[in-house]
Amino acid sequence: MPSGQLRFDDDVVIVTGAGRGLGRSHAQQFAARGARVVLNDIDLDVAKEAVAEIVAAGGTAVADDNNIATEEGAAELVKHALDEFGTLTVVVNNAGIINYHKLEDITPQLWSDMVSVTLNGTYFVTRAAWPTFLANDYGRVVNTTSNAGFAGNETLVHYGAAKLGIAGFTKALSQEVAGTGIHVNAIAPMAVTRMNRDAFFGGKESASDDWRDDLKSGRVPMGPPSAVSPTVLWLAHRDTQVNGDVFSTSSGKVSRVGFIVGEGYFNPDYTPEDLRDNVDAVRSLDNYLDPVRGTGDELALIPPLFQQ
């Protein structure tokens, strides 16, 4: 079994939304292990502050404030990485926004803004990096979805929709690169950040020297970004062969998220009444299928059912 520290000395990493929170932590941990990092944030001042911290610690990093919610901005970000460091090996799509509204209060503009930054930004940056990855037959993409996408959360309809879209993007794209040196995965992180602290606990941050104490006492609901970043680094490393997975990661717990299909109820001549009368079988997740190779996994089960 491999041993030793996972290093990134030959890697150039783009982290979007890297000025604060999760993205800043990801960038710091990449740089501490030898990566050259491009910290992208729409707020250039905070990106520069984060870069200064990395450089002061002996790392290599540059700031970038291109708007990844546009095709042009994403292309300029990738160009910046290539111009600065000559190559690109890792993209961490972390940028996103969050706001809390019930459906009736989500205006078309709020919906559009959410999708533009969170989902479209992931697409634009990945697509801009893609020619480099294809030419090198190597690359790592780590996207950021959310438990709010696949588990749901009231007042986060727009956020959940965009985040679940990222999960679908991850699963589909990973199949396009199967068997190559390009791997695409996603995390569903939960951490105390500037974006969510007001909603979760009145703006309070961990007050003790060890966040574990505040988590145990119930003062905070989850750990800091630094407890999430190791999952990102693991998925971004060239020795990691995982592809097409989503991992929930928070407070030291990391676990694979599955999108499963139950055994269900089968009757080629079924009626609405049949579903009413067999609702338990329809809803059951016993004997489930995990369609890791795509929709074909489920479709392959249909012909044998006709032979029973």
Residues 6-37: tens digit of each pLDDT: 999 999 999 999 999 999 999 999 999 999 99
CA angle 88, 90, 95 (to 5 degrees): 115
Q: What pLDDT is attached to residue 87?
A: 98
Number of structural domains in the chain: 2
Q: Are residues 298 and 232 in the same domain?
A: no
Q: Which residues, at least 6 apart from 266, have a Cβ–Cβ distance to it below 8 Å?
A: 305
**32-46, 212-226, 289-303 — which is least confidently predicted?**
212-226
Q: Is residue 53 part of a domain?
A: yes
Q: Is the pLDDT of residue 54 over 70?
A: yes
Chain mean pLDDT for the chain? 91
Q: What pLDDT is attached to residue 194?
A: 59
Q: Is residue 208 part of a domain?
A: no
Q: Are residues 237 and 299 in the same domain?
A: no
Binned at pLDDT 50, 70 and 90, residue 293 comes out as: confident
Q: Are residues 71 and 117 in the same domain?
A: yes
Q: Is residue 239 part of a domain?
A: yes
Distances (CA, A) of 251 to 121, 220, 229, 301: 27, 11, 11, 38
Q: Is residue 3 part of a domain?
A: no
Q: Are residues 158 and 282 in the same domain?
A: no
Q: Are residues 113 and 245 in the same domain?
A: yes
Q: Are residues 174 and 297 in the same domain?
A: no
Q: What pLDDT is attached to residue 60?
A: 98
Binned at pLDDT 50, 70 and 90, residue 209 comes out as: low
Q: Which residues, at least 6 apart from 56, have a Cβ–Cβ distance to it below 8 Å?
A: none
CA angle 248, 252, 257 (to 5 degrees): 15
Binned at pLDDT 50, 70 and 90, residue 202 comes out as: low
Q: Are residues 42 and 152 in the same domain?
A: yes
Binned at pLDDT 50, 70 and 90, residue 200 comes out as: low
Q: What pLDDT is attached to residue 192?
A: 74
Q: Is the pLDDT of residue 280 over 70?
A: yes
Q: Are residues 243 and 278 in the same domain?
A: no
Query: Residue 76's domain is classified under what CATH number?
Result: 3.40.50.720
DSSP 8-state assignment for residue 156: B
Q: Are residues 175 and 277 in the same domain?
A: no
| Residue 141 C-alpha from the chain's centroid | 9
Q: How many CA atoms lie within 13 A of 123 on its CB side?
A: 16
pLDDT in tens, 116-175: 999 999 999 999 999 999 999 999 999 999 998 888 888 999 999 999 999 999 999 999
Rounded CA separation 138/10 (Å): 12
35-70: b (≥16 Cβ within 10 Å) or e:
bbbbbbbbeeebbbbbbeebeeeebebbbbbbbbbe
Q: What pLDDT is attached to residue 297?
A: 80
Q: Is residue 202 part of a domain?
A: no
Q: Are residues 251 and 277 in the same domain?
A: no
With H, G, I as helix, E, B as strand and everything else as coil, classify residue 239. Answer: coil
Q: In which domain, by residue range, is 44 found?
A: 12-190+228-257
Tokens of 52: 């200064």
Q: Which of 159, 265, 270, 288 is catalytic?
A: 159
Q: Which residues pair with 36 in a beta bridge?
A: 12, 60
Please say if 159 is a catalytic residue: yes
Q: Is residue 2 part of a domain?
A: no
Q: Are residues 250 and 278 in the same domain?
A: no
Q: Are residues 276 and 163 in the same domain?
A: no
